[in-house]
Amino acid sequence: MNKKQKNMLARILAALVCLIIVKIAEKSIPFWWLQLALYMIPYLIVGWDVLRKAVKGIKNHQVFDECFLMTVATLGAIAVGIYDGIHTGSGDYLEAVAVMLLYQVGELFQSIAVGRSRRNISELMDIRPDYANLEEDGEVSRVDPDEVEVDSVIVVNPGEKIPLDGVVLSGESMLNTAALTGESVPRAARPGDTVLSGCINENGVLRIRTTAEFDESTASKILDLVENAAARKSRSENFISQFARWYTPLVCYAALALAVLPPVFLAITGREVQLFTWIYRACTFLVISCPCAVVISIPLTFFAGLGGASNQGILIKGSNYLETLSQVRTVAFDKTGTVTKGNFAVTEVHPAEGFTKEDLLEMAAYAESHSSHPISRSLRQAFGQETELAAVTDVQEISGHGVTAVYKGRNVAAGNEKLMDRLGIVIPEVPETTGTKVFVAAEGKYAGCVVIADEIKPEAKAAMDGLKRAGVRQAVMLTGDASAVAESVAKTVGIDTVRAELLPAQKVEAVEELIRQAAGGAEEDPKRPKVAFVGDGINDAPVLSRADVGIAMGALGSDAAIEAADVVLMDDDPRKIGKAIRISRKCLRIVWQNIIFALGVKGICLVLGAIGAAGMWLAIFADVGVMVLCVLNAVRALFLKNV
């Protein structure tokens, strides 16, 4: 509890003690006005700030809020008490004081609950390093990570958090990446490896050369992302704040009508009018209608959901995306790096007549030497020698086709069938295989084909089953790769539809088509089924941003992916996609439970209050009780281990 909360608790206790004393002494007080004055002491102790806020709201022309509701309701109840007091010598003020007291208890509870979940969530995301051990001239000193410049050398001892991104200079250790990825298996770090801030060094001492400043380091970026996520409000949240804006004035007018209309009606029809009964009922009505349970529990649910998900290695960039995720019915996948591991290796080499295997690999490796695509890397690996970048000139990358370049005075081309078509080169025979084929030509003559295969991720099949269980109706693979390869991968893992040989721009079109299909012609409908695209974030940024939800996988350390995607999976386990959808479903379920429960109970109590079957006691218990239950229900969104 913070100071304000302690203060509030003290006021509540003081008012409670005071109220009990006054209640006991009540019978022996002869005058109604003295009774009133004595009851006013606990009332003002516990409720003065509510009264003040209500007055302030009126002054600022923002009349209708819960303070106003409470003030009017309790003052109304007191007025009824005064009326009784004048006529019978003793009025009932207990209710009004108790209502104010319980209202404040509810507020205090809410404030503590929110503060606690705020702290829980920041503990879940406890990746902010407190210090760095900076090594300068052979001496190690402990400094603020903010002060460490790029290219400094830092020392990380066992048990410490890595404060900044960097490259290991010396030392070997296992790193615990759980805070970043939700993955509990430690990773090995050896000299030359890149390490990310936020990981915990488990056993060895590491000397690290930093490659980023603190603000640009992974830990800071992730924290920033998570903290900003709550600022992107979901439709449900906006709906609730809109709702509160018209709901509160509405119930105030309804209460006014309840106080005035029935007595007028009774008077006209010539029956006996008990004006104060109706005022009392109107006050009860106001107490019940207080909207705080819904207003507080919905943002709390989203916040807890975002925090809980990030603890599982799933970063969701806003409540709005959490909401959209729950409506996803179609998931489109990029193949490489998502369904497959993306660690390509050359499996077959088919030189054409007049070329040797070595020739072929050399040309392919050099032609692709400027590219960082996994295919190019595997070609260079198979070639086995360092490629000199300067040996290649006039490199032209033709997106979705391949590259042409000049190497050793020869025009070399390496790419897919489309590239060969484009260059007018006839491929004599295509080897029957399911790998990715890179065709090579030299001086306009076909030189051969290199087959590169990729490994399917072992979790891919389970991931597809998980998606189906999460309610996804259609899984689609969009890939630039050849159809034969794509089909065989899709069949193995259980993807329904394949769109192969797509250029990057065509992937965007394919996603747009899926959106149109899912919408069934009603694209503007916010409730339509949504389409998610999952990619590795390296070259599919446009597709990620075009889909309703862009999900980047294995994004740990890739800034571009974190930038472009709406949901970032920190490790490359595709099962997390289904999990993210299930998490979003759980959150939305809680949100709707709370909305229906709170409004349902209030609706029933409003009716009971209006017909006089429920008094103010029931009203305040309904209000505070519903709020407590809704907040507790909202906090469930934090616990997502077994979702």
CB 174 within 8 A of CB 186: yes
- Does residue 123 touch another protein according to CB under 8 A? no
| Residue count, binding to another protein (CB under 8 A) | 25
Tell me the two tokens of residue 573.
């386990």
What is the closest distance, in whole angstroms, from the C-beta atom of residue 294 to another protein in the complex? 10
Name which of 56 and 271 has its Cβ closer to another protein: 56
Tell me whether residue 296 or residue 547 sits nearer to another protein (CB atom): 296
Which one of the spans 54-62, 139-147, 464-472, 500-508 is the region binding another protein (CB under 8 A)? 54-62
By the rule CB under 8 A, 433 interacts with another protein: no
Binding region for another protein (CB under 8 A) out of 58-66, 128-136, 365-373, 571-579:
58-66
Name which position in 180, 189, 251, 292 contacts another protein (CB under 8 A): 292
Smallest gap from residue 380 Cβ to another protein (A): 42
CB of 633 to another protein, least distance (A): 16
Q: Minimum Å distance from CB 337 to another protein?
A: 32
Fill in the amino acid letter for 89.
Answer: G
Asked whether 580 and 309 are in contact (CB, 8 A), the reply is yes
Positions in 163-182 near another protein (CB under 8 A):
none
| Binding residue (CB under 8 A) for another protein from 24, 188, 231, 426 | 231
Report the nearest approach of another protein to the CB of residue 70 (Å): 12
By CB under 8 A, what part of segment 300-329 binds another protein?
300, 302-303
For residue 462, state whether it binds another protein (rule: CB under 8 A).
Answer: no
Could you give the residue ranges of the DSSP H alpha helices within 125-273?
178-181, 218-229, 235-268
347 touches another protein by CB under 8 A: no
Q: Is 640 left (phi over 0), alpha (psi -120 to 50) or beta?
A: alpha
DSSP alpha helix (H) spans, 424-479: 460-469
Q: Which is nearer to another protein, 242 or 274 (CB)?
A: 242
Q: What are the C-alpha distances in Å from 630 to residues 85, 101, 104, 168, 622?
A: 39, 20, 17, 49, 12
CA-based nearest residue to 179, from 556, 564, 605: 556
Q: Is residue 235 at the binding interface for another protein, with CB under 8 A as the rule? A: no
Instruction: Quickly list DSSP for 468-522.
Output: HHTT--EEEEE-SS-HHHHHHHHHHHT-SEEE-S--HHHHHHHHHHHHHHHHTT-
Beta strands in 144-189 (DSSP E): 153-156, 166-170, 173-176, 187-189
Tell me how many degrees the CA angle 573-225-169 measures, rounded to the nearest 5.
70
- For the chain, how long is the longest CA-to-CA vector? 120
Q: What are the structure tokens assigned to 355, written together?
A: 């070329």
Q: Which of 21, 44, 56, 239 binds another protein (CB under 8 A)?
A: 56
DSSP readout, 106-151? HHHHHHHHHHHHHHHHHHHT------EEEEETTEEEEE-GGGPPTT
Among 17, 21, 34, 62, which residue sits at the site for another protein (rule: CB under 8 A)?
A: 62
Cα dihedral 225, 227, 233, 236 in deg (nearest 10)? 110
623 near another protein (CB under 8 A): no
Q: Under the criterion CB under 8 A, does residue 516 sit at the interface with another protein? A: no
Query: Contacting another protein (CB under 8 A), which of 50, 69, 98, 114?
Result: 114
Q: Return d(Cα 357, Cα 449) in angstroms, integer.
A: 10
* 540 is known as an active-site residue: no
Please report whether residue 66 would count as binding another protein according to CB under 8 A: yes
Q: At its nearest, how many Å lie between another protein and the CB of residue 562?
A: 18
Binder among 11, 221, 233, 585 for another protein (CB under 8 A):
233
Nearer CB in complex with another protein: 76/291: 291
- Using CB under 8 A as the binding rule, whether residue 60 contacts another protein is answered as yes
Based on the shown chain and the rule CB under 8 A, indicate whether residue 333 belongs to the binding site for another protein: no
d(CA 366, CA 384): 12
Length of the chain: 643
Using CB under 8 A, pick the residue from 106, 263, 299, 535 that binds another protein: 299
Residue placing its CB nearer to another protein in the complex, 322 or 475: 322
Question: Is residue 65 part of the contact set for another protein (CB under 8 A)?
Answer: yes
Measure the CA–CA gap between 281 and 279, rounded to whole angstroms.
Answer: 5
The residues facing 109 across adjacent strands are none
Catalytic residue among 84, 130, 146, 334: 334
Residue position matching structure tokens 């032209």: 396
Stretch that binds another protein, among 20-28, 107-115, 448-456, 538-546 (CB under 8 A): 107-115
Q: Which is nearer to another protein, 214 or 303 (CB)?
A: 303
3-state secondary structure 360-391: HHHHHHHHCCCCCCHHHHHHHHHHCCCCCHHH
Q: Quick check: 238 binds another protein (CB under 8 A)?
A: no
The stretch among 22-30, 104-112, 167-175, 565-573 that binds another protein (CB under 8 A) is 104-112
> Which spans of this chain sit near another protein (rule: CB under 8 A)?
4, 56, 60, 62, 65-66, 107, 110-111, 114, 118, 227-228, 230-231, 233, 241, 244, 292, 295-296, 299-300, 302-303
Catalytic residue set: 334
